[in-house]
Structure 1
Amino acid sequence: MKAAVIQNGAVRVAEVQDPVPATGQALVRTHSCGMCASEQHFLHSGQNVIDLSRRFGGPYAGLDFSRPFVPGHEYVGEVIDYGPGSQRTVKPGRRVVSLPVMRQQGAHAVIGFSHDCPGGWGELMLLDEATLIEVPSELDDDMAAMTEPLAVGLEHARRGRPSRDDIPLVVGCGAIGLGVIAGLKLMGIGPIIAADFHTDRREMAIRMGADIAVDPRELSPYAPLPDLGNRRANLIYENVGLPGLLPEIIAACAFETRIVMGGYCMEQEQFYVFAAQNKRLTIHFAGGEEGQDMELALRSIADGRIDVCPWIGERIGLSGVSDAVSRMSGPLAPIRTVIDPRTF
């Protein structure tokens, strides 16, 4: 099959071996796949991610950075066949999304970050049939591909255990932050404060359900806000992943604030435990989405409760992947570029 692969920090289009499904695995033809910042991280610091996984435990420990792998974990595809002895949970010809995790025979791999489980940047994938979710026939491919990135934000939102008495602050309005805002709105939590340096991202946050969008260069989002009757956020979602942000939040936030760390920082952080203790802070480190988040994300997209259409920018074939990766970061980049690996 044809695929865009990452090898030694570079992207190229290659012919790779077609995957063969084993028991409990579905063979799926990719229709659409979003491009995530995690793939861009691998271009610049992939070996560091692998080394950290090997040192501290993590799903990327099995990757060999010198060997090609097919990324892509935000996908929708059509079931073609199953491995022998499978339960065949979704009929061939139907479209599916799934958790990007393969759990079979004691193995655990992240689809798109594995030499054995190619992702959606290729024509064919192997998916765990136990996690398949059938996509409604009327839902557009690109919209369905937004299920996984939205599900991450929904997971982070619920990890904060928000209540109607909370005033949440979402720091960073990329895909994860926007998903957090959508999840909070879905739960009836508000008012919601969003903070981002970039005008377009603040405007997108309002479209997703934020009530106030703050430029941190002009007004501290952690301080009492005049538009909220000088009330302060007491539940903060960090979705940036840059070193130094956690100690900044600890120093500036209110007493008994709850902090949910969703940003993916791969550098060491230093902060004063003294400050966190004196304020009686709770810090939760959020992980990836679970099955319930994928189900809710797909239902919410399909029934129109969450509109992810503004997230989707350019649609490209395999030949456009390398250039698109180089343009992923920055305030003018779309929330998601989507790949159709059936086209070149």
Structure 2
Amino acid sequence: MYAATLLNGEITVSELPVPTPGPMQVLVKTRLCAICASDAHFVTSAEAMVANSQKFGGAYAGIDLSQPIAMGHEFVAEVVEYGPGTQQQVPVGGRVTAIPGMVDEQGNVGIVGYYGHLPGGFAEYMVLFEPLMFAVPDEVSDELATLVEPLAVGLEHARSGNPTPEDVALVIGAGAIGLGVVAGLKKAGVQRIVVADLDPGRRELAVQMGATFGVDPRVTSPYGPQDAFDGAQVNLVYECVGRRGMLNQIIPGLGVGARIVMGGYSLEPEELMVPPAQDRRLTIHFASGEEYQDMALALASIADGSIDVRPWLGRTIGLSEVASAVAAMGDPSAPVRTLVDPSRP
């Protein structure tokens, strides 16, 4: 099979063997896969990510960077063949998406699209872990199905802050995860949502997702009393940028009892001045990836139209364009998600 693979910091098109499904695994043929900012992060920082996992524990610890890796973890695919011990609830030919986790019969944990032996959606075929697989209903197009996983991450982050309708929420960063947080807050009944982002186009997208308004933090502080909310101050903050120093920027602007959810992913150490956080009696929660309930909610919300992620979609490309499209992920003018069809060269 053909795949766009990462090796020595470069993405090229290469040929890989079609994987064989083991116990509880399913061989699927990729229909489409979205490019995530995490893919761009991995291209530039794979060695540091693996080293950190090996030092502190984490899902990247077992990655062998000397082997080509077919990335891509936001996908829709069709079932080709079931491995032993599977329930086979989705018929062969049926469409699926999945949490990109894998557990083999020895109990080893891996991530589809990050381990060399677990090719992701930038390859023509993948193996998925059946217990983490979801059938895609007919009313959800292939394009929208690729957005289930990134939306699920945003929904997980949103619920991690225990939002209530009384909260005044601030989302910092209007990438896919920040936009998903906005959608999750709206689902939780939060009506007062501010989004801070440097790019006007991304701020507009956030308003489309349900934010009350967006601000450029270089011009307007998003932390103080908000005239639009009768002077109410932000009390629930979601950091979805992942840059060193963000936490210490957030803390001084908040009042007593505020909550902070750290969803951004930074490999740089963060120095924290503890007394200002103590004085304000802040709660800081470190969010992570989606759980089963988040994937189920994301898929159901896209299917019934209660969350509209169509504005996230950009163009669909073939394997030969993956390298340039991944490199362009850091440009705020780029679409939230570019899609890859691995059957196209």
Whether these two folds match at TM > 0.5 is yes
Q: Give 1:1-344 correspondences, 5 Å limit.
A: 1-105=1-105, 106-344=107-345
Instruction: Report the CA distance between 1:75 and its aligned residue.
Output: 0.5
- The CA deviation at 1:121 is 0.5
What do residues 149-175 of structure 1 show as CA deviations (whole Å, max 9, x unaligned)?
Answer: 000000000000011211111110000
**Residue identity opposite 2:247 in structure 1:** L
SS of 1:221's equivalent?
A: coil
Identical aligned residues as a percent: 50
Q: CA deviation at 1:89?
A: 2.6
**1:141 alignment partner AA:** D
SS at the partner of 1:18? coil
CA deviations over 1:48-81 (Å, ceiling 9, x no partner)? 1110010011111111222211101100100001
- Classify the secondary structure of the residue corresponding to 2:134: strand
Q: Matched residue of 1:180: which SS?
A: helix
Is the Cα–Cα contact under 8 Å of residues 64 and 115 in structure 2 kept in the other structure? no
The Cα of 1:181 is off from its aligned counterpart by 0.1
Does the Cα contact within 8 Å between 1:170 and 1:181 map onto a contact in 2?
Answer: yes
Give the Cα separation in 1 of the matches to 2:126 and 2:260: 36
Q: Contact between 1:25 and 1:83, CA under 8 Å: does it hold in 2? A: yes
Distance 2:154 2:250 in 1: 20
Q: Offset of 1:132 from its aligned partner?
A: 1.3
Kindly provide the CA deviation profile for residues 266-318 of structure 1, in whole angstroms up to 9, marking residues without a partner as x: 11011211111011000000010001100110111111111111001111011
State the SS of the aligned residue for 2:311. Answer: helix
Q: Distance in 2 between matches of 1:342 and 1:231?
A: 52
SS in structure 2 of the partner of residue 38 of structure 1 = helix
| Counterparts of 1:240 and 1:328, CA distance in 2 | 14
Q: Tell me if the contact between 2:3 and 2:15 (Cα under 8 Å) persists in the aligned partners.
A: yes
Aligned 8 A contact 1:169 1:235 in 2 = yes
Q: Write the distance in 1 (CA, Å) between the matches of 2:277 and 2:209.
A: 31
Matched residue SS, 1:158 = helix
What is the deviation of 1:231?
1.1
The answer to whether the 8 A contact 1:123-1:342 is kept is yes
- Deviation, structure 1 residue 104: 3.0
- The answer to whether the 8 A contact 2:22-2:104 is kept is no
Structure 1 residue identity aligned to 2:298: A
Q: Distance in 2 between matches of 1:323 and 1:194?
A: 29
RMSD across aligned positions (CA): 0.9
C-alpha separation in 2, matches of 1:83 and 1:27: 8
Amino acid at match of 1:64: D
When normalised by structure 2's length, the TM-score is 0.98
Give structure 1 stretches of 5+ with no counterpart: none
SS of equivalent to 1:327: helix
| SS in structure 1 at match of 2:192 | coil
What SS does structure 1 have at the residue aligned with 2:70?
A: coil
What is the CA distance between 1:88 and its match in structure 2?
Answer: 1.6
Q: Which amino acid aligns with 2:115?
A: S
Moved over 6 A (4+): none
Aligned-partner Cα distance in 2 for 1:188–1:86? 39
